[in-house]
């Protein structure tokens, strides 16, 4: 716009472009939005209670075990914040809920523990019953199908009571927001969620403002590694004495720093280069120039045309000879 002398009108044009983009964003139909944008992340306590009672009523009336499982999920998921897939392989001893870290990253433990000892007894009983009713021997694909069935139970129950459709992950948002509202620190929330970064919950999940008020919340417990991590030295390779291997020549000797003898290291052997030396730039140019035909292009074209005419004449002569020999071969 500056090149055409219209630089002064840039603010007005930019305002119109911004308004057009905002209008386009606002007119995206709800059914065409991405799945993550459709999820309810601010489910209220009243919605969760109404959904639980509807699933319980439906399950008991029609003796539907999946509806009962969905009711138990709604009861406990908002308190423990697990990913649905983490129910596969989870254990509960009445106070400690051990969950596998479904999105384990380098530096994370394979499992995490949640202290539910201060939770209401109904919640702890619901966790125990839910894990007892789940078939933990299902494969990942089979468990994913069951998880989809559970999500369908929630969706149909929400439609029956005329509430917003809550997904399985809606209750993970509820749990994280409730932990933040209870004043838990970001590192502890990251441990409860199974996140490696303390910023993930704040960036991608609901905030404390939509959390439910709890008298007691789950607390995080760091699962110790099977083997202690050795302290790094100044250069990053020194290890603690207890982590060192004993001297193989003296099994009775205590753990000690390993010794390295420089003289025992083999000397490197350099092989002589037997390949041809590389061509210089002048040699390359001379080679390329030798490939170019020095003759006149018209002379080359005339030679090609003459060769084509001679080829056609030979072909015609061969056809005449074949016609002469044809009748004679038939008489024979």
Give residue-wise pLDDT tens across range 205-248: 777 788 898 889 999 865 444 444 444 433 333 433 344 444 44
- Token readout for 240 is 């603690």
Host H or E run for residue 91: strand 91-92
Closest CA to 113 of 88, 80, 83: 80
pLDDT of residue 72: 95
Residue given tokens 């990253």 in the structure block: 105
> Which of these CATH numbers, 1.10.443.30, 3.40.30.10, 3.90.230.10, 1.10.10.10, describes 34-221?
1.10.443.30
pLDDT of residue 295: 67
Contacts of 290 (CB under 8 A, 6+ apart): none
- Token readout for 226 is 């099977």
Q: Can you tell me the distance from the alpha carbon of 217 to that of 181, in angstroms, rounded to the nearest whole number?
A: 10
- Token readout for 186 is 């970001």
pLDDT of residue 38: 65
Judge whether 246 and 255 are in contact, CB under 8 Å. yes
Please tell me whether the overall predicted TM-score, pTM, comes out greater than 0.75 for this model. Answer: no
Q: Indicate the range of 172-176, 225-229, 308-312 predicted with least confidence.
A: 225-229
In the predicted model, what is the mean pLDDT of residues 236-262?
46
Closest CA to 69 of 138, 15, 5: 138
CA distances to 160, 247, 332 from 76, rounded to whole Å, are 22, 54, 103
Domain boundaries of the chain, sorted by first residue = 34-221
Share above pLDDT 90 across residues of the chain, in percent, rounded to a whole number: 40
Q: Can you tell me the distance from the alpha carbon of 158 to that of 52, in angstroms, rounded to the nearest whole number?
A: 10
Judge whether 169 and 40 are in contact, CB under 8 Å. no
Q: Cα Rg for the chain, rounded, in angstroms? A: 39
């Amino acid at each position: 716009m500056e090149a055409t002398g219209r630089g002064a009108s840039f603010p007005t044009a930019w305002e119109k472009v911004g308004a057009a983009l905002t209008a386009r964003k606002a007119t995206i139909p709800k059914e065409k939005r991405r799945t993550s944008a459709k999820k309810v992340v601010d489910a209220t306590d009243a919605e969760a209670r109404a959904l639980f009672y509807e699933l319980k009523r439906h399950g008991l009336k029609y003796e539907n075990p999946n509806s009962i499982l969905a009711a138990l999920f709604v009861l406990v998921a908002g308190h423990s914040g697990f990913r649905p897939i983490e129910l596969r392989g989870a254990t509960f001893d009445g106070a400690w809920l051990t969950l596998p870290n479904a999105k384990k990253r380098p530096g994370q433990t394979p499992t995490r523990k949640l202290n539910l000892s201060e939770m209401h007894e109904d919640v702890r009983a619901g966790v125990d019953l839910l894990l007892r009713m789940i078939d933990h021997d299902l494969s990942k694909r089979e468990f994913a199908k069951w998880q989809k069935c559970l999500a369908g139970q929630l969706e149909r129950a929400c439609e029956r009571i005329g509430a917003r459709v809550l997904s399985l992950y809606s209750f993970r948002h509820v749990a994280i927001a409730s932990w933040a509202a209870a004043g838990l620190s970001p590192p502890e929330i990251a441990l409860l969620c199974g996140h490696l970064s303390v910023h993930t919950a704040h960036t991608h999940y609901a905030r404390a403002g939509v959390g439910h008020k709890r008298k007691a919340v789950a607390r995080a417990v760091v699962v110790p590694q099977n083997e202690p991590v050795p302290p790094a030295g100044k250069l990053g390779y020194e290890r603690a004495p207890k982590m060192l291997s004993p001297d193989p020549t003296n099994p009775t000797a205590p753990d000690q720093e390993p010794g390295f003898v420089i003289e025992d290291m083999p000397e490197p052997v350099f092989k002589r280069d037997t390949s041809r030396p590389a061509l210089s730039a002048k040699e390359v140019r001379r080679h390329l120039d030798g490939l170019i035909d020095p003759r006149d292009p018209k002379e080359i074209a005339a030679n090609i045309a003459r060769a084509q005419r001679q080829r056609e004449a030979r072909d015609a002569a061969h056809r005449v000879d074949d016609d002469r020999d044809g009748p004679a071969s038939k008489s024979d």
